[in-house]
Every structure is written in C-alpha cells, then in structure tokens.
Amino acid sequence: MSPSMEEIPFFFAHLRLLRVLDMQGSSCLSNKDLDCICNFFQLKYLSLRNTSISKLPRFIGHLNYLETLDIRETLIKKLPSSAKSLVRLKHLLVGHKTHLTRTGSVKSFRRSSGLEMTPGVLMNMASLQSVCHIEIKKDPSVFQEISLLRNLKKLNVLFHGVEVNWKPCLESLSNLPGSVRSLSIQIFDGDGSISSEEMLSSVESPPLLVTSFGLTGKLERLPLWAASLRNVSTFTLRNNGLHADAIDVLGDLPSLLCLKLYHKSYADDCLIFPQGKFLKVKLLVIDNLENIDKVCFKDGSVPCLERLTLSFLREPKHGISGLENLLKLKEIEFFGPVITAVVTKVVSSVKTHVNRPRVIGDKGNIVTEYS
C-alpha cells in the first residue's frame, strides 16, 4: 500500500482472500483499521513496518496461515495472547534498526524497541525460524520457551535485569537448538551482582555452530568458548570494554570474514592487529572507540581486508598506521561526523598504496569522495 495514501480504501475490509499484505510506511494506518485483517484467513505475509501502529488486533491468532509478521519500526511492545495460535509463523520481525552508511555495513538498534512476550505464547509457535528483538526481563520462562523452538535459525534477544534468575537463562542458552545460525545477545541494566562475562562463561553448551554472532554488554573478557566459534563469519561487539587479549582471540577465528567493533566495545588506547591474524576478514568496522589513540595494522595482518569503515570521536593521537600492509584494500569509508585531520592523513598515506583505495565520507547517506 502506498505510503502517500491519505486514507484506507473503503474496500479494504473485503479483501478476505489476500495472502500478502504489505502496509509498510502507510501513514494513514490506525490501530482500528487493523481489526478487519483478522478475517483475512488466507494471509501468509503481513508487514506493518514503519507505521504508527501500537497494538495488534485482539484476534490476530485467527490468521492460522500467517508465516511472516513484520512489525519493525512500529510502536508495538507486546503481542496479544491469541498470538499463541499462530502455529505456522516462521518469521517474527521486531525492532528499530538504522543503517548509518550507504553500504549497510554499520547499523544502530534502538534499545527500547524490543518486544515483550507473554509466557506461553512462543512455545506454541513451533515453526518459528527467525525471532528478532525479543525482550527477556526478570522472568526467564520466555527464554526457556525459545530454547524449545527446534526450527530456529535466527535469534536476537535482549536481557534486562536477569541477574536474579540468570541460571535458568544460562540453561536455556545451553539448550538452544543446533539449527541456530545467527545469534545476538544483548545484556542491559545489570545490578553488578554478576558480570555479563561471568554469566556467558557459565554456559555449558555454547552455540558453536553459529555463523553470525553478536554480543552487547559489559564483558571485559570474551567468554572462553568464544575461541571455539570456528564457523562464525560475522562477529559484532558493542559496549563490552574488551582488551587486547580479545583481539588475539578474534584474530584466530578461522572463518571470520567481518568484524564490527562498535561504540565502547574496546577499552584500550591502542588497537593493534597482529601479524598472522584475521586471515580471511574482508570487512572491518571501527566505530567511535572512546579511548583510541592509535590504530595499527602490522605487516601480514588482515591480508584480505577490502573495506575499512571508520568513525572517531576525536583524532587518534598517534594516528592510523600500517595501511600500506593491507594489500587488498579497496575502500576506506568514514561515517558520522568526519574529522578532517584524520581524513587528510589517511588520503596522504594511501597515495602510494598499491591499490590506491578510495577514501570516502558517508554522512546521512550523502557520499563525499576525498582525493
């Protein structure tokens, strides 16, 4: 439905044989307009993305054939209890995600955009393959239900204040089905009684088969089992406060193609990529690491790197060195507030680079090429 439409057409309520309904971006859509969709019994795909909808219809569970429910970028915070009847649902898509670069390599998630689940709903959705941005608060029972979803492939879960009941959460992490290939764990609002690193290190059966893995939350050290994630091709870190030893661990992951170090993920003032590490990485994101004074690529480090994406809060005191060692580098991308002094030095240093990589600035998807 066109985002520019000023009102819902009069015949909307009579489209009962619809199988696909995409309302993305429809500014005229209201909660009341949705009541009639509970009669669209053949519906398989429903997108309400980027609308002002704050509540799903009470009888959404009547959509017995629904396979995809996309409520990203809406105001919906909870599913009605009838949703437990959506037994064919495969993809439950939630959350607010913003792309900060034209390539989509840098994303920002709104912390408050998770979906709170009523206990007893997820356990009936046995067909679920994708569950994105689900909130787990003090009651761990919802996460225990997630661990029963044997077809699950993608999971993004937000933990809020789970220290009181952290042991059941760990048991559920250990019991995640082997089908999970993409896993993002975000831990917020800790009371200090136990660290995120302690919690994660206690997982008895870690998700060793995942190919995409993300961790948000104070760690200081990676859990010991992180070194065993031999299938991971994408590793994303946020707000972790990690140190140089974590870089050594990540550098030895044999399948790693993409590493994203977001805000506060790294606490030291020097970020050094050692020789013989990160042998397959093609994309590296370094995003506003607060303490950074130096970024250094040693000879023989990150030999396959093609795109380097950077953002700084201030100019690193000792700059960025070793770019000449990145023999396959094609593009250096700055995003966010671009610091002219940093860009100028990078442009100068790559003029003699064997590949003459492009240096660009990407601010609000407005691209500037520097030379």
Q: How far apart are the first and last CA of the chain?
A: 43
The rounded distance, in Å, linking the Cα atoms of 213 and 176 is: 14
Q: What is the pLDDT along the chain (371 residues), one digit of tens a residue?
A: 545 455 565 566 677 788 999 999 988 888 988 888 888 999 999 999 999 999 999 999 999 999 999 999 999 999 999 999 999 999 999 988 777 777 777 877 776 678 988 888 999 999 999 999 888 876 778 888 988 899 999 999 888 766 556 677 777 888 888 899 999 998 876 555 456 777 787 787 888 899 999 999 888 899 999 999 999 999 999 999 999 999 999 999 999 999 999 999 999 999 999 999 999 999 999 998 999 999 999 999 999 999 999 999 999 999 999 999 999 999 999 998 889 999 999 999 999 999 999 999 887 667 788 87
pTM of the model: 0.91
Alpha-carbon dihedral sign for residues 124, 129, 135, 140? positive
What is residue 336's DSSP assignment? S
Return the CATH fold of 90-267.
3.80.10
pLDDT at 163: 59
pLDDT at 57: 93
Establish how many alpha carbons lie within 13 A of residue 131's alpha carbon, considering only the half-sphere containing its beta carbon.
31
Hey, is 241 helix, strand or coil? Answer: coil
Q: How far is CA 351 from the centre of its chain?
A: 35
Residue 250 neighbours by CB under 8 Å, 6+ apart? 222, 226, 235, 256, 259, 278
The rounded distance, in Å, linking the Cα atoms of 82 and 259 is: 40
The rounded distance, in Å, linking the Cα atoms of 32 and 155 is: 31
CB contact at 8 A, 182 and 211: yes
Q: Which tokens sit at 52?
A: 């002002």
